[in-house]
Amino acid sequence: MGKEFTVSTDYEGYVFLGWASGMFETDKGAKMPYHNMYVLSPVSSYVSEDYQASGMKAEKKKCVSADVWQDLEPGTRVKLFFDDKKRVVMAAVDE
């Protein structure tokens, strides 16, 4: 059975929810690995004539490897570190 956790809307960072890892087929038929993590984060506080948002958003983040989420439990607050391709290269617990 899964562990319950509470996410505070006051928290400004990412909350780890889970992950998925496997193989996908490219347009040319080659098999390539993928590693994704799922997080919650606050929506932007930006407001304009055409846009406003409130609450949290769920996001899928591409990761360089499955090592990124090693030892993370769903509900953990994390700081994410990205490479130049916007892939997560490291996730550190945010105390």
pLDDT in tens, 73-85: 999 999 999 999 9
In a domain? residue 52: yes
In a domain, 43, yes or no: yes
- Nearest partner of 37 among 79, 84, 5, judged by Cα: 79
Q: What is the pLDDT of residue 95?
A: 83
Domain carrying residue 59: 14-93
**Residues of the chain scoring pLDDT < 70:** 1
69 lies in some domain: yes
**Would you state the pLDDT for residue 1?**
55
Domain assignment present for 57 = yes
Domain count, the chain: 1
Residue 6 placed within a domain: no
The per-residue pLDDT for 85 is: 97
18 within a domain of the structure (yes/no): yes
Which tokens is 12 given? 């400004």
Residue-level pLDDT at 45: 83
Beta strands in 1-95 (DSSP E): 14-25, 31-42, 56-62, 77-82, 88-93
Domain contains 38: yes
Q: How far apart are CA 85 and CA 22, in angstroms?
A: 20
Does some domain include residue 67? yes
pTM: 0.86
